[in-house]
Amino acid sequence: MPVAELAFAPGIDAYEPSHRGEPILEVRNLAVAVDDGLAVENVDLSLEAGRTHCLVGESGCGKSLTCLALMGLLPPGARGVSGNLRMKGRSGAIPEKGPPEGLAMIYQDATASLDPLMTVGRQIVEALPADVPRRARRAEAEDLIAQVGIPHARARFESYPHELSGGMNQRIAIAIALAARPSVLLADEPTTALDVTVQARILDLMLEFQQSTGLAILFVTHDLGVVAQIAHDVSVMYCGEIVESGPVTDLFAAPRHPYSRGLVECLPRLSRQTERLESIAGIVPPLQARPTGCRFASRCTRADDLCSTQRPCLERRGNTGAVACFNPL
């Protein structure tokens, strides 16, 4: 039995939902091209109201690009994007200029995502829906500041980002994301830069919001400890692709993809500071030098001839979850 499951089972049980509903956001075949090739490819994701879907993977595997693509906010280095997005029953292409209504994001570096010349209060006000009347906007922003656990909301409204700590700015970033009253929240490593106690408080905060509003969260992290605490579902990303996805309990109890197993096995040893996964030998192939077959082949103990010539696609295995592997566990 994996150590991880023993350690984190209570947390998982607490959030296990009783039933699964219609997805509020579904992504099919998302691909993002950069100069060197496809940095993100074949990404399918499905988010449900009131549930947290964790997107896990090593640094550079394409987690941030995936979120930014959904927001229609790709960096200038990105050459193009394709795929389908279905949100609240309406389907269409991946947006290219800004997010669809109901979608908000917490960016990876909160402080850098705040305008240094504008008070944090005004930056929250700016994110409120257009139909909030002018007179109510300031009060509503102050409410949000208080709700994300910042004392003296009234005074803090007038603060500039450089006057606040990293943890405070992270909370402001959450307040900004929630100001838009989203039904889906993309949180890109919202706690990675923070110390453990602040991290725990911020996670609690997000989950509280989720319970009161039914928010669907896509939570990006490379920290499986966090995944074990908050996830309902998990997608594991490797080299721009989803290699395994399914309910968190299944993933921790019985990972199917050799890469996922590597992740889960080294969980207790995984330090938050080092993003490298020590127990999986070998290096992640760079974008320019990806193999034609399975991208994990060079590091995989189960690889065979087929693996080096053919690319496995993400396929349903059993009644829960999907895995992209010719020789799953």
Partner 1 sequence: MLRFVVFRLARALITIVGCATLAFFVLRMAGDPIIALLPADAPPEVMERYRTLWGLDRPLYEQYVRYLISLAQGDFGQSLVDGRDALGVVLERAGATLILGGVVIALALLIGVPAGTFAALRRGTPADHATMTVAIFGYAMPNFFLGLLLILLFSMQLRLLPSSGYGSAAHLVMPALTLGTAMAAKLARFVRTSVLDVLGQPFVRAARGKRLPELAVILRHVFPNAAIPVITFLGFEIGLLIGGAVVTENVFGWPGIGNLLVLSVARRDLAVVQTIVMAIAATMVLANLVVDLAYGWIDPRVRLAGGPREG
Considering only the C-alpha atoms of the chain, give the largest distance between any 2 of them, rounded to a whole number of Å.
Answer: 67
Q: Closer to Mg ion by CB, 39 or 280: give it.
A: 39
Residue 265 binding partner 1, by CB under 8 A: no
Give per-residue burial for 84-101: e unless 16+ CB within 10 Å, then b: ebebbeeeeebbeeebbe
Helix axes 196-213, 166-179, angle to 10 degrees: 10
Residue 160 binding partner 1, by CB under 8 A: yes
Which residue in 63, 39, 116, 56 sits closest to 290, CA to CA? 39
Q: How far is the CB of 169 from partner 1 (least distance, A)?
A: 11
H or E element that contains 27: strand 23-34
Phi then psi dihedrals of residue 78, to 5 deg: -80, 130
Site for ligand SF4 in 268-307 (CB under 6 A): 294, 296-297, 300, 302-303, 307
Q: How far is the CB of 37 from ligand ADP (least distance, A)?
A: 9
Measured between alpha carbons, how far apart are the two ends of the chain, in Å?
Answer: 14
Annotate each residue in 86-115 with x if it binds Mg ion (CB under 5 A) or - if it does not, as one string. ----------------------x-------
Residue 260 binding Mg ion, by CB under 5 A: no
Which residue in 85, 68, 54, 11 sits closest to 245, CA to CA? 54
The binder of ligand SF4 chosen from 175, 312, 314, 322 (CB under 6 A): 312
Chosen from ligand ADP, Mg ion, ligand SF4, none, partner binding at 309 (C-beta under 5 to 8 Å by type) = none
Chosen from Mg ion, ligand ADP, ligand SF4, none, partner binding at 202 (C-beta under 5 to 8 Å by type) = none
Applying CB under 5 A, the residues found at the interface with Mg ion are 64, 108
Applying CB under 6 A, the residues found at the interface with ligand SF4 are 257-258, 294, 296-297, 300, 302-303, 307, 312, 325-327
